[in-house]
Structure 1
Amino acid sequence: MGTAALLRAAGVGVGDEVVVPAFGTVDVADAVIQTGALPVFADIDPATYCLDASAVDAAITPRTSAVVAVHRFGRTADLTRLHAIGRRHGLLVLEHAETEAPFEETAQRRERAAYLDARLRGVRTPDGGDGHTYQQYVVRVPGNGRPDRDAFARAIRAKGIDCRVPVKTPVHRLPGHRRWISLPQTERAAEETLALPVDASLTRRQMQRIVSACNALGGPITIGSTAAFGV
């Protein structure tokens, strides 16, 4: 059952508000609108890219009926705190999960992520806590926000590295969903993040190329041990 159907089944409708993240696609906000309710955007945790529980708590009004927690990039939202907030305010808390990869593929992604964690310089590597499955390996490019991140992306693409910007524009800045609100962590993440490949099919040589291309821009290239990936 989709998010809109689950909200309707819980009685969410016209006049209600549903707290959702703005960092991601429009799917969840659109699902809320389909019920007749209003999506209310809350800020994210900068480490997990999922809803920040404190920001959710601050966004709750007498009209709030539900919260939709979206798991992002292989990290899960802080469901313990979100469910506690839901119980305290009498709110429905729904999870919007990513499609899970098979166990073997996840294990291989984690190996590649560990390789990058140990060797990348000049970018901020992801926080790997809480069972990160690395649906995407998302780094932060420090500097002057979007201009430097975009320049970094162009430079490594020119070297054959298939990177992408995971969220180009937060939902609260898109036409039809525009809100004049401050979501500093959401906006900063949209300006700094870049997803590097960690596909299970990548060979050791391809991983070395990713490190070399990034480190040539972000810092000195560090030559470490070349642990096998089992490929």
Structure 2
Amino acid sequence: MLRAAGVGIGDEVLVPAFGNVEIARAVTLAGAVPAFADIDPVTYALSPAAVADAVTARTAAVVAVHRFGRPADLAGLHAIGQRHQLLVIEHRDGDGEAPHDEIARRRERAAYLDARLRGVETPDRGAGHTYEQYVVRVPGNGRPDRDAFAHAVRAKGVACSVPVKTPVHRLPGLRRCVSLPQTERAADETLALPVHPALTKRDMQKIASACNALGGLLQSAS
């Protein structure tokens, strides 16, 4: 898409550093240079305000990535694109074409955790969220506390994962000296808990119990 739009050598393309290393590499394959803008702490997608601040004379395009099933602020990004005459490319991270019944079951499990988890920051319930991943934030001292929390939850038999271990702008070959405080914080605090459709009510109770035993008072699972 970048090549077809005439984006190439001498151009910069604004991309998120919170995951999606393949997008930054695709930009380099097109002959352009990936440049990083910070994310919105709620959507985990590019922040329109951060994109506006990152635009330079060489910027030719922006790649808007929907993260974890939560839509990016496309209206805001397109407004920036129109203002600066930039191409805005949309990329969906994950199974955006999942069947409606599967999405409905994920939303049901996400709502269950929303109502019962204590001591962690649950995800935003933004319009259109499909919960490809149910990503919480573990409060405290950033990465050490998040990692300790994840270890303890796994020890109780609950599968969880760190969605972004290293931001793209800190990876070899793509390192940039750029300030991305929301990206760094999200990488240090986020943890994905399971909400896939195969989980039973007992499974969901186990997840809530394991998390709440560490982060707060256990609530009734009725």
TM-score, normalised by the number of residues in structure 1: 0.94
Residue 36 (structure 2) aligns with: 41
Question: How many Å apart are 1:131 and its aligned residue?
Answer: 1.4
Residue 170 (structure 2) aligns with: 173
What does residue range 1-231 of structure 1 map to in structure 2 within 5 Å?
A: 6-98=1-93, 99-100=95-96, 101-225=98-222
- Post-superposition Cα deviations, 1:59-110, rounded to whole Å, max 9, x if no partner, equal 1011110000000000111111111111111110000113221110000000
The one-letter code sitting in structure 1 at the alignment partner of 2:59 is: T
Provide the C-alpha distance between the structure 1 equivalents of 2:120 and 2:155, rounded to a whole number of angstroms: 18
Provide the C-alpha distance between the structure 2 equivalents of 1:113 and 1:224, rounded to a whole number of angstroms: 14
Q: Give unmatched runs, 5+ long, in structure 1.
A: 1-5, 226-231
- Deviating beyond 3 angstroms after TM superposition, the runs of 4 or more aligned structure 1 residues are none
The one-letter code sitting in structure 2 at the alignment partner of 1:174 is: L
- Post-superposition Cα deviations, 1:121-140, rounded to whole Å, max 9, x if no partner, equal 00000001121100000000
Aligned residue for 1:105, secondary structure, equals: helix
Q: Give unmatched runs, 5+ long, in structure 2.
A: none
- Post-superposition Cα deviations, 1:33-82, rounded to whole Å, max 9, x if no partner, equal 00110101000000000000000001101111000000000011111111
Aligned residue for 2:62, secondary structure, equals: strand
The one-letter code sitting in structure 1 at the alignment partner of 2:110 is: A
The one-letter code sitting in structure 2 at the alignment partner of 1:54 is: A
Please provide the CA RMSD for this pair.
0.7
Question: How many Å apart are 1:179 and its aligned residue?
Answer: 0.8
Provide the C-alpha distance between the structure 1 equivalents of 2:215 and 2:116, rounded to a whole number of angstroms: 12
How many residues end up aligned between the 2 structures? 220
Identity of aligned residues (%): 72
Question: How many Å apart are 1:25 and its aligned residue?
Answer: 2.4
The one-letter code sitting in structure 2 at the alignment partner of 1:167 is: V
The one-letter code sitting in structure 2 at the alignment partner of 1:194 is: L
